[in-house]
Amino acid sequence: MNSKKDDLLPEAERLFIHEYMPATVISKKLNLNRKTINRWRTEHDWDIKRAKFLKSKMSFHEELYEFARKLMDGIKADMDAGEKIDPGRMYAFCKVIPMFTKVKNYEDLATPKEKKPSTRGLTPDIVARIEEEVLGITPNVDEDETEEE
């Protein structure tokens, strides 16, 4: 017999796999214990399912891009040859173009962000800037650079 909690399993799985929500957010959203979400995650292989879903989406993006590229090349070839462009191909091309924005937004969401290395402490550039702007110390200039020949 299913409990009310088990009835939320499909929604929790969807949120994890398709919406990329972490277990803590899902547990709050569905009013479930985080341990329950993590147990379901393990028992039902959500990580594997998410990876497959991401791979299928990336493959779709590549296919979409290749399709648009071939369509555009064919239209361009017809234009260069002075031939009439098939309205169906032009319509299809115009419909595909806005999809790239959605795919780009998806990729931004799905692709892990790389952390930029942060420099800690004072670098020589920062010290020189502090000396000049705050302390009023001008940088040393070699005499060779100031002499005119």
Confirm whether pTM is higher than 0.85.
no
CB 54 within 8 A of CB 17: no
Euclidean distance between CA atoms 97 and 100, whole angstroms: 6
Tokens of 7: 């009835």
CB 21 within 8 A of CB 29: yes
Task: Return the higher-pLDDT residue of 28 and 107.
Answer: 28
Query: How do residues 67-121 score in pLDDT, each as one tens digit?
Result: 888 998 999 999 999 999 899 988 988 888 888 777 777 766 766 555 555 556 6
Which phi-psi region, left, alpha or beta, contains residue 20 (left: φ > 0; alpha: ψ -120 to 50)?
left
96-114 residues labelled b (16+ CB within 10 A) or e (exposed) = eeeeeeebeeeeeeeeeee
What is the domain partition of the chain in residue ranges?
8-44, 54-110
CB 12 within 8 A of CB 40: yes
Task: Identify the pLDDT of residue 105.
Answer: 72
Nearest to 49 by CA among 13, 22, 79: 13
